[in-house]
A and B are shown apart, each in its own frame.
Chain A
Amino acid sequence: MDDPVADLIARCAAADRAAFRSLYHTTSMKLMGVLLRMLGERAEAEDALQEVYTRVWLRAGRYDPAKGRGMTWLIAVARNLAIDRLRARPQPSGDAEIETVADTAPRAEARLVAQGDARRVTECFETLEPDRAQAVRGAYLDGLSYLQLADRHGVPLNTMRTWLRRSLLKLRECLDQ
């Protein structure tokens, strides 16, 4: 399958600096979008973006195009860094921050265009109860922890854990069909 991003990553693994520049220019807006949404602050997102591309260069050799698309791998590198930074932060004290995040979730759903993988995911999410689908999306897109999800949905932590696990098993069944 044609995957120009995967080709650029493979060339980075061969220490091709021109490919690294092309990779940055073609993918940094998407990764900036990921980091900005998850970390919330522009300065921190920019700092994280530098770290992400540093990791991409150093780890390019570990990317296997047979196992997934280039962009999916890049976003995984960015999300993992953002999640680690979020989890390293002190837990938010009030509900204000969580409410703000909650407000953006429906818009995110609206942005899920009904095409290809996105349509498939959307269809499978529709098999879940709406609040549980929202919890899974909030975890993925905004990097919410179990604790924040439990707070947002007003359920005990263990209930949230069970909700999410049941939802993930259902999603796996639907997506693997």
Chain B
Amino acid sequence: MTDLPLSVNDADDLLAAEYVLGVLDLPERAAVDARLKRDPDFAARVVAWETRLEGLNDGYAEAPAPDLLPRIEARLFPTPSPPPTRSLPLLRWLSGMAFGAVLVILTLATLGPPSMLPVVVLATADNRLAYEVASMGDSLRITRIAGVPAVAGQVHELWVIAPDAAPVSLGLLEEDPLIVGYPTPPAGWVMAVSIEPEGGSPTGLPTGPVILTALVGG
């Protein structure tokens, strides 16, 4: 059987349908995810297929779900907690971080909007790549202060990790600063940046190398 002769419209529409059905492989899905962000017409095709096929959702029977809300809320809405006891080298590092944070606060107090509070700086040892995470109260702003975005086909993805919990993606770090509705993570949490395929991690967990990490310090 030969492939169908398709117009450009039909080809795009079938790709959207295959994405909604779920038959594409991982690299193809990642390519579609990336396209969805920059191509509103294509995104509309995907939504149209989701709506066309929504009648199939009746085929999913309900299943008892445990109350996972406390765990979900603990990931989403961190409450400030006393800094955990840590080993001595880490404490020394933490106090260094706090000192650095104070310096940045002082700088921002004179130069920037008073509502921006630095949370952490994620930087390589040589400072060739660095992201600054600042809190605006109920959201975080992440700005690249050194280096360049990931190479074509890849993207830097930002993660927040509560103690003993799985990383939660906060979004993709591209050309512009990222603003995400998320409160200031409390001390003892870790923020990290990994390299992921275009469109971000397909699994919801870091799949590529973690290139930057920083402990949120009191």
Interface residues, chain A, with chain B CB atoms under 8 Å away: 15, 17, 20-21, 24, 28-34, 36-37, 45-51, 53-55, 57-58, 61, 67-69, 71-73, 75-76, 79, 81, 83-88, 108-109, 111-113, 116-122, 136-137, 139-141, 143-146, 149, 158-159, 161-162, 164-166, 168-169, 171-172, 175-176
* B59 contacts A68, C-beta separation under 8 Å: no
Q: What separation, in Å, do the CA atoms of A158 and B63 have in the docked complex?
A: 36
Residues in chain B near residue A122, CB distance under 8 A? 55
With A32-B63, A88-B202, A111-B61 already in contact, the answer to whether A141 and B56 are too (CB < 8 A) is yes
Q: Is the CB of B63 within 8 A of A162?
A: no
Q: Which residues of B contact A55 (CB under 8 A)?
A: 204
Whether the pair B203, A145 counts as a contact (CB closer than 8 A) is no
**Within the assembled complex, what's the spacing in Å between the Cα atoms of A136 and B130?**
46
Tell me, rounded to whole Å, the shortest Cβ–Cβ distance linking B209 to chain A: 16
What's the interface size class on B, roughly?
Answer: 35 or more
B132 CB–A CB distance under 8 Å: no
List chain A residues, Cβ under 8 A from B47.
67-68
Within the assembled complex, what's the spacing in Å between the Cα atoms of A71 and B60?
A: 12
User: Do the beta carbons of A175 and B52 come within 8 Å of each other?
Assistant: yes
Query: B52, A87: Cβ atoms under 8 Å?
Result: no
Query: Which residue, B20, B44, B138, B180, has most C-beta atoms of chain A within 10 A?
Result: B20
Cα of A109 to Cα of B71 in the assembled complex, Å: 35
Complex formed: what's the CA distance from A53 to B75 in Å? Answer: 11
21 contacts between A and B (CB under 8 A): A29-B64, A29-B65, A46-B65, A53-B68, A55-B204, A58-B182, A61-B181, A67-B51, A79-B22, A85-B203, A87-B29, A108-B59, A121-B55, A122-B55, A144-B22, A144-B23, A146-B23, A146-B25, A149-B23, A168-B14, A176-B52
Given A58-B180, A85-B203, A139-B22: A72 and B65 interface contact (C-beta under 8 Å): no
CB distance from B6 to the nearest CB of A (A): 8
A141-B59, A164-B21, A169-B14 known; 14 new pairs, CB 8 Å cut-off, are A17-B77, A28-B65, A32-B65, A33-B63, A49-B65, A57-B72, A58-B170, A68-B47, A72-B57, A87-B202, A111-B59, A118-B56, A122-B55, A144-B22
Shortest Cβ distance from residue A148 to the other chain B in the assembled complex, whole angstroms: 9
Q: How far is the CB of A147 from chain B (nearest CB, A)?
A: 8
Is A71 a contact partner of B57 (Cβ separation < 8 A)?
Answer: yes
**B17-43 CB contacts (< 8 Å) to partner A:** 17-18, 20-26, 29
**Interchain CB contact (< 8 A) of B55 among A34, A57, A58, A120:** A120
A172 and B52 within 8 A (CB): yes
* Nearest-neighbor residue (CB-CB) of A78 within chain B: B60
Structural contact, A81 and B59, CB atoms closer than 8 A: no
Cα(A61)–Cα(B129), bound, Å: 30
Would you give the shortest CB distance from B53 to chain A, in whole angstroms?
A: 6
Q: Measured between alpha carbons, how far is A58 from B171 in the docked complex, in Å?
A: 9
Kindly state whether residue B62 has any CB partner on chain A within 8 Å. Answer: yes
Q: Which residues of B83-108 are within 8 A (CB) of A?
A: none
B124 within 8 A of A: no
A169/B10 in contact, CB under 8 A: yes
In the complex formed, the residue of B with least CB distance to A168 is B17
B55 touches A145 (CB 8 A): no
On chain A, the residues within 8 Å of B12 by CB distance are none
CB atoms of B29 and A172 under 8 A apart: no
Residues in B whose Cβ lies below 8 Å from that of A51: 204
Contact of A118 among B55, B64, B71 (CB under 8 A): B55
Is B66 an interface residue, CB under 8 A from the partner?
yes
Nearest B residue to A139 via CB reads B21
Task: Name which residue of chain B comes closest to A21, CB basis.
Answer: B69
Query: Would you call B58 and A111 a contact (CB within 8 A)?
Result: yes
Expressed in whole angstroms, the minimum distance between the Cβ of A63 and any Cβ of chain B is 10
